[in-house]
Amino acid sequence: MRIYFDNAATTAIDPVVAQEMIDVMQHAYGNPSSIHAHGREVRTLIEKARKTVAGLLKVSPAEIFFTSGGTEADNMAIRKGIEDHDITHAISSPIEHHAVLHTLENLEKEGKIKLSQLDVDAHGNVNLEQLESLLAANPKSFVSLMHANNEIGTLLDIKRVSDICQQHEALFHCDTVQTMGHYEHDLSKIHIDFVTCAAHKLHGPKGVGFLYINHNVKIKPLLYGGAQERNMRGGTENVYGIVGLAKALEIAYEHMDEHQAHIQSLKSYMLEQVQKHIPECTVNGELDPDKSLYTVLNICFPEMDMADMLLFNLDIAGVSASGGSACSSGSNIGSHVLTAIGSNPNKPSVRFSFSKYNTKEEVDIVVSKLKEVFLTELSK
C-alpha cells in the first residue's frame, strides 16, 4: 500500500471529472473552430465550461481564457501585462513559483524591466510596507505575488495587496494555483488584474488551466495562431481538459467547507503526532491556520546523517512526499523558498500535502514510518 501525501504537486483526478472527460473524448470529437454541427457541439461545451468557471469566480465569461496550465497563464499575464502596458518596473518576492520568478528574471535580463524583490520573514510573509514604499517611488509598476506558497503554505493578504496596488495604479497578478478550488475567489469583491489556475491541483486533469484577465486590462496574445479564445490564444482547444477543469472546480466549490474541515483536521493531527514522537521538529511557514494553506504542512526535521536520503527512505517505505533543504552553497541546488526564509540547510524538510482522499489512518502510518527512520538514525 502506497500513501500519497504530495497533493501540492498534483492531485488524483476525481472519478466524476474523469467520466465527464471520457464522454467528451468518445462522443464530442469535432473541431470547435468548425462551423458544422460537430464543431458547434464542441464549441458549446467550451463556452458552457467558461460560463461555469466565470460564475464561480463572479466574473464575466469574457474574462476567462483557457490555457495549457498555470505556467502558461503566469507567462501570459506577466510578459504581456508588462510589455503591452510599457511597464518598466516589477515587484515580486524570492519565494514565488519559478514560473513567475524565471519569467520576471528573464524580462530583466532582456532589459525590459527593473525587478525589485520584497523581503520575507522567517515564516514566508512578504513585507507589505516595503511594497507600499516601492510603489510610491515607482508608480504604474507590475506586482506579482502568489496567494499561497506552494512549498510552505503561507497565505498572502490579497485584499490588502489589491488595495495597495489600486492606490498606486499598479497592475496586480496573483498566482492562485495552490488555492483555486480550496478557497472561494469572489473577484467581484476584490480587484485583481490577472489570476491563474491549473486544473490538476484541484482534482482535475493535467495540461489545462485558465487565466482571468480583468476587463479593464487589454493585452495582446502570447501565442499566435488561429482565432481561438477570442483571438487571445492560438491553437485548437484542449476540449476534454477544459470540460474537466470546469467540472473539478464546480465540485470543489460545492463541497469546499467539508473538504476544508477534513483536510485541516488531518494537517493538525499530523503535526501533533510528529511533534509528539520526533523531538525538535519545527514548521516551515505559518502555524496560524488563518495564515496558512490548509493542504500543506512543511516540517523541518532534526539534523541527521544523509539528510538528503529522508525522502528516499520515505519512498522506500511507501510514502510519496516532497521537500528538500535550503541551499548551503552556490553549487547546492536546494529550495529557493527555504533559503529565502532562512531555514537551516543541514536540516531536512519534507512537504506533506493532503487532499480530500487522505485519511487519519494514513497519517498514523506515515508518522510510524518517520519514527522508524529517526529511531534508526538515533541508534547509530
Q: What is the pLDDT of residues 1-34, one digit of tens each?
A: 899 999 999 999 999 999 999 999 999 999 999 9
Q: Residue 216: pLDDT above 70?
A: yes
Say if domain 15-254 classifies as CATH 3.40.640.10.
yes
- Give the pLDDT score at 329: 42
Name the nearest CA neighbour of 344 among 323, 322, 326, 332.
326
Q: 161 φ, ψ to 5°? A: -60, -40
Three cell numbers at 151?
512549498
Ramachandran class of 324: left when φ > 0, alpha when ψ lies in -120 to 50, beta otherwise: left
Judged on CB neighbours under 10 Å (0-12, 13-18, 19+), 10 is middle
Q: What is the mean pLDDT of the chain?
A: 94
Query: Looking at this protein, which amino acid is placed at residue 163?
Result: D
Query: What's the rounded mean pLDDT across residues 83-93?
Result: 98
Cell numbers 518598466: residue = 88
Name the nearest CA neighbour of 245 among 308, 297, 200.
200
DSSP 8-state code for residue 318: T
DSSP lists the bridge partners of residue 65 as: 211
Please say if 197 is a catalytic residue. no
- Give the pLDDT score at 267: 98
User: Within a 10 A sphere around the Cβ of 169, how many other Cβ atoms?
Assistant: 10
Its CATH architecture, for the domain 3-10+256-378, is Alpha-Beta Complex (3.90)
Q: Residue 327: pLDDT above 60?
A: no
SS (H, E, C) 188-241: CCCCCCEEEEEHHHCCCCCCCEEEEECCCCCCCCCCCCCCHHHHCCCCCCCHHH
Distance CA(64)–CA(53), nearest Å, equals 8
Distance CA(94)–CA(327), nearest Å, equals 13
Q: How many helices (H) and strands (E) does the chain have?
A: 13, 13
Three cell numbers at 41?
457541439
Q: Residue 331: pLDDT above 80?
A: no
- 130-138 contacts, C-beta under 8 A, 24 or more apart: 131/91, 131/161, 131/164, 132/164, 132/168, 134/91, 135/91, 135/164, 135/165, 135/167, 135/168, 135/170, 136/168, 138/89, 138/91
Query: What's the rounded mean pLDDT across residues 45-51?
Result: 98
User: Within a 10 A sphere around the Cβ of 308, how many other Cβ atoms?
Assistant: 11
Alpha carbon of residue 86 to chain centroid: 27
C-alpha neighbours within 13 Å on the C-beta side of residue 281: 22
Query: What does the domain layout of the chain look like in residue ranges?
Result: 3-10+256-378, 15-254
pLDDT in tens, 230-246: 999 999 999 999 999 99
**346 touches 307 (CB < 8 A):** yes
pLDDT in tens, 340-363: 999 888 889 999 999 999 999 999
Q: Residue 95: pLDDT above 90?
A: yes
- Give the pLDDT score at 377: 58
Query: Looking at this protein, which amino acid is placed at residue 376?
Result: T
Distance CA(143)–CA(164), nearest Å, equals 10
